[in-house]
Homo-oligomer: A and B are copies of this chain.
Amino acid sequence: MDIEQFRKAGYQAIDRICDHFYSLRNKPVQASVEPGYLRALIPDAAPQTGEEFENIADDYQKLIVPGLTHWTHPSFFAYFPTACTFEGILGDLYSSSVANPGFNWTASPACTELEVIVLDWAAKLLGLSPAFYNASGVGGGCIQVTASDSALIATVAARSAYQRDHPDARMEDLVLYTTTQTHSLGAKAALVLGLQCKMLPVTKEDRFSLRGETLRTHLDEDIKAGKRPFLLIATVGTTSSGAIDNMPEIRQVAKEYPTLRVHVDAAWAGVVLSCPEHRETCFLDDINEFADSICVNFHKWGLVNFDASTLWVRDRKYLTEALDITPIFLRTAQSTAGTVIDYRNWHLSLGRRFRSLKFWFVLRSYGVEGFQRYIRQGIEQNQIFVKLVENSSVLELVTPPSFALSVFRIAPRPEGKPLTLEAINSLNRFFFGRISARNDIYLTQTMLNDVYCIRLAVGSMLTTAEDIQGAFDIIKKEAELALENWKIPDTLAAGGSV
């Protein structure tokens, strides 16, 4: 393809992306294809000779698009939203065109320098302490692929620091703490590193938030058994219900156990820190005072296209001492002084995409106020849903709503014979089965301790208040049909306590 052919194909791509957004609302949210659908449509080897790009671009529309689930659809309420802004797309487009693996400063100064700057912009947007700014020369932030990578890196850094301070410790004795509600990133980090992961219990009464006393009890117990607690991954906004671990209490415990590091996973909810009115709820003051690291995924609800997971650390040496393979005699004065950052020593890979460009585009185009407006809109839309559920005789919230996330189920009926928890769960599974058989709405299920529930997460760019009402109408209708059609399974008909 020569430059003029690219211009033509590029214009066409832009036009087709415009068409896609104009028509998205009328498309099904979920792809309805069967496993293996594509293998039947595509040859099993690359063609011997090159093909016309026009045909390839047409095949994308014909063969690929029908197999996509539209995460940017106005009726996508599953998992968490995925950011997709025009500014983000354009940032990635310019970035692709210069194909620049800025692994260190000299590999392409602009890539590193823009990342250093926009991560400070983002830190200020969220109200993080200046200790986390790159400009501090001590702490700093960078872009990682996902929150799992950020958590893995924080775990490597914490393990490495612990080992430096305790050269006698056996790796097998090191314990990473999460809660039963922590995202799988905690268990995955432990699995990757071959370390133990202990998931601490949380209760419905505490809104699934980790309490200091629980942490303290388990630390004491494990230390007594010869274990080596080295890291807690605390969460601001869990995946299941948006729970926020009790940071003031955790901070107090961390003070008593100074070898315990704390990583804060605010992958989803972290963006609400852009709005000052939510900072107290998220315990920002405590995080600013004691967290060793914090991760926020702007590629979820934060308007910057995937991948855009930000990781800030209070001390950049926490990362570089764990990840830098440059022999000490090769370190430059500039690098050590923080004048120049070589980001290859802040992450797992060597090369890295030029991802700061899309941050810059998004934050400039929206401005702080535009970003806040977007976050507040998501929370307001969720409030619409919350009120509809609260006024409904069929549905109930399982736990208080968290920002733009609600967790609900069909409420146990007060009249008639009381159902066991297993029976209510079974009813709700049946209800969710009905919802997920539709392709005009997409939600996901979860378990909160032993209660089966359904999640509704707001945040797609295109979602309006009317879409929320529409979603509720569908959900309510399916709940009523579920109640009409569900038959209590024989095995659950007898006994048990709710």
Which one of B44, B60, B109 contacts A69 once the chains associate, using CB atoms below 8 Å?
B109
Determine how close the nearest CB of chain B comes to the CB of A306; give it in whole angstroms.
6
Question: Is the CB of A486 closer than 8 A to any CB of chain B?
Answer: no
User: Which of the segments A118-126, A209-217, A472-480, A489-497 contacts the partner chain?
Assistant: A118-126
B363 touches A307 (CB 8 A): no
Residue-wise interface mask of A (139-156) relative to B, using a CB-CB cutoff of 8 A (1 in contact, 0 not): 000000111110010001
Question: Is the CB of A51 closer than 8 A to any CB of chain B?
Answer: yes
Cα–Cα distance between A86 and B171 once the two chains are bound (Å): 48
Cα–Cα distance between A149 and B192 once the two chains are bound (Å): 12
Question: Is the CB of A83 closer than 8 A to any CB of chain B?
Answer: yes
Additional A-B contacts beyond A71-B101, A84-B98, A88-B99 (9; CB < 8 A): A10-B90, A20-B97, A36-B113, A42-B117, A49-B367, A67-B108, A82-B101, A145-B351, A193-B193
In A280-314, which residues have CB < 8 Å from any B CB? 299, 305-307
Question: Is the CB of A13 closer than 8 A to any CB of chain B?
Answer: yes
A92 touches B92 (CB 8 A): yes
Question: Is the CB of A390 closer than 8 A to any CB of chain B?
Answer: no
B96 touches A146 (CB 8 A): no
Which chain B residues lie closer than 8 Å to A7 at the CB level? 14-15, 18
Smallest CB-CB separation from A174: which chain B residue?
A: B194
Assuming the contacts A10-B90, A148-B350, asked whether A125 and B67 have C-beta atoms less than 8 A apart, the reply is no
Question: Is the CB of A339 closer than 8 A to any CB of chain B?
Answer: yes
B348 touches A13 (CB 8 A): no
Residue-wise interface mask of A (1-36) relative to B, using a CB-CB cutoff of 8 A (1 in contact, 0 not): 101111101110111111011100000000101011
Determine how close the nearest CB of chain B comes to the CB of A28; give it in whole angstroms.
13
User: Which of the segments A182-190, A221-229, A250-258, A417-425 contacts the partner chain?
Assistant: A182-190
Assuming the contacts A36-B113, A46-B363, A90-B9, asked whether A305 and B96 have C-beta atoms less than 8 A apart, the reply is yes
Question: Is the CB of A445 closer than 8 A to any CB of chain B?
Answer: no
22 A-B interface contacts by CB (under 8 A):
A1-B365, A4-B18, A6-B14, A17-B97, A38-B109, A39-B113, A44-B117, A45-B121, A47-B367, A48-B368, A50-B365, A50-B370, A68-B110, A69-B107, A69-B108, A82-B100, A82-B101, A84-B98, A148-B350, A170-B171, A184-B350, A193-B193
Assuming the contacts A70-B98, A367-B46, asked whether A38 and B111 have C-beta atoms less than 8 A apart, the reply is no
Determine how close the nearest CB of chain B comes to the CB of A136; give it in whole angstroms.
12
Cα–Cα distance between A492 and B174 once the two chains are bound (Å): 51
Smallest CB-CB separation from A97: which chain B residue?
A: B17
Smallest CB-CB separation from A52: which chain B residue?
A: B365
In A160-193, which residues have CB < 8 Å from any B CB? 160, 163, 170-172, 184-185, 187-188, 191-193
7 residue pairs, one from A and one from B, having the closest CB atoms:
A67-B110, A10-B14, A84-B99, A38-B113, A6-B86, A50-B367, A146-B349
In A332-380, which residues have CB < 8 Å from any B CB? 334, 339-340, 348-351, 353, 357, 360-361, 363-371
